[in-house]
Structure 1
Amino acid sequence: MTSNHQSSTEDKVVYLDSHVHFWKLERGDYHWLKPSNPVLYQNYLPSDLLGIAEAVRGFIAVQAAPTVAETEFLLELARNDERILGVVGWLDPFASSFADEYRHLRNNPQFVGIRLDRSVFEQCKEQVPDRLIEHLRLLEKDGFTIDLLIGSENMPTVIKCLRCVPHLKAVINHLGGPPIRDGGNGELETWSTYMDELSSFPNVYCKWSGMITPAGGMNLKLLESYIRLTADRFGPNRIMFGSDWPVALMAGTYNDVVQLFERLLPEEWDDKDRTRLRNFNAKTFYFGIGDNEA
């Protein structure tokens, strides 16, 4: 890793932030947000990012509540703010109404993905329901994307699902939740083994997001082994930058997140590789836009 690489086009460095959240508490479906966490227990809207993300030319807004109503709320925000390029929303993948709700949301071109979290895969430990696979095959056929908010304990089930839909476009959020905070304690090998297999699926990407919070700030040493492994497995074409703002505010500023990302970039990756991570890979994943079109 390096902390002193200077891009020859430094004044032109721009980012597409593939992972931000917006919420409005009075909507009432953010049950995980509690008054005991005053940093997060307040409204966060696109206007709050004005002036603090100057190098960012676009955001992907990711769901923070397990409701279709919140997805529609995010799409409304996107309609009124050109910086929000796309929305990764929520649908119940076990519901009989999934296909109809999905097709309805697809009428909005800013609806670019669905996020599946740990709870989905915890329900499938013993057997993956046919209905879930049916719905994933619908997304695979459409070339639609899913975000995966998972940990090591969910990865065997995720892998089982991906074997049924090997061409599904999926991105692992927050490096797959490795044991950063406790320094590993034996879990690193398990996480590493599963990430090896996940990276073998050609359309599975990884977000370098949600890192500053479990690391407790700008702690490069805690993060380097996880960054190195994902860099080796996914390469510069299947990793994307994400801030995880405003959750990241528990450990640093938006600028801290950007600087941490930059300092963790492998020193052997050149300016073109770095540009892919900062910007192009998210465009390729969510919008099918290649380097030469961006």
Structure 2
Amino acid sequence: MAFIDYYKVLGLEKTASADDIKKAYRKLARKHHPDMNPNDKEANLKFQQINEANEVLSDPEKRKKYDEYGENWRHAEQFEHAKQQQQQQGYTYGGQTGFEGFGGGGEFSEEHFSDFFESLFGRGGGAGSSRARGKYRGQDYQAELHLGLREAATTHQHTLKVNDRNVRITIPAGIANGQVIKLKGHGAPGGNGGPAGDLYITFIVEDDEHFKRVGDDLYANVDVDLYAALLGGDITFDTLNGKVKLKVKPETQNGTKVRLKGKGFPIYKKEGEAGDLIITYNVKLPTGLSEKEKELIRELASVSSKN
């Protein structure tokens, strides 16, 4: 497999901060997500490379190993162990003790990694080589899944494409923005018979034009005409679960809040339970008044000023 420069994949320099990595990953993941590029194999491959790069560079320990060992970062512990053994045995390369011959000061030059690894563990896939190398776990994958608020409020199935395989998952109602779930064994395959890595999915729940979500509660604004606010009346409102009739009390003030118990967002993995819906009344003043209406309002104002 050709070496992939994870920094180049994300369009970053090696000096990039953790925040730079996070921003670059989110931007590129959205651009190349399979849902945005159906039947585009090149975009799908790019998406996998982006996830792979983020999985390594967003983890401080993995990034440290990658920066030091390059494409052989997964074998860093084996390198270190072998290095200690060679130093203890006084092993020499070119008249120098230990590993100094690979770049001076005990550091390694990237072009020597493959030959060095083979010198320690042998070439090919023989039994002796496999035992020396040992099994190692495949790396984890990272992915983002974008949902609308109303999608996140219902239990539904979704199909993800991972390494040209369709993975069907059930998303429980009530998933939170930024919540991460793990799909065990859906990451990269392991080496020498080792276990596969895992797939971590971060859910991004988009904003909704009618509702604002805070925890399991929903907030919404409802317009109430002046006459209903003054005299009382009924209005109908569409919740996530259907229409409800709201009774407006006489002399309702602008900004009045009404709490509807259990009409909010479903609570994650608690079937039948939901937060509350908090509605704020916005009293709307009438426009385009006729002369008769204006005359009546003046009369009302006159009566009100005398009281």
- After TM superposition, the score normalised by the length of structure 2 is 0.22
Q: Identify the structure with the greater strand proportion.
A: 2
Whose RCO is larger (CA < 8 A, sep 6+)?
A: 1
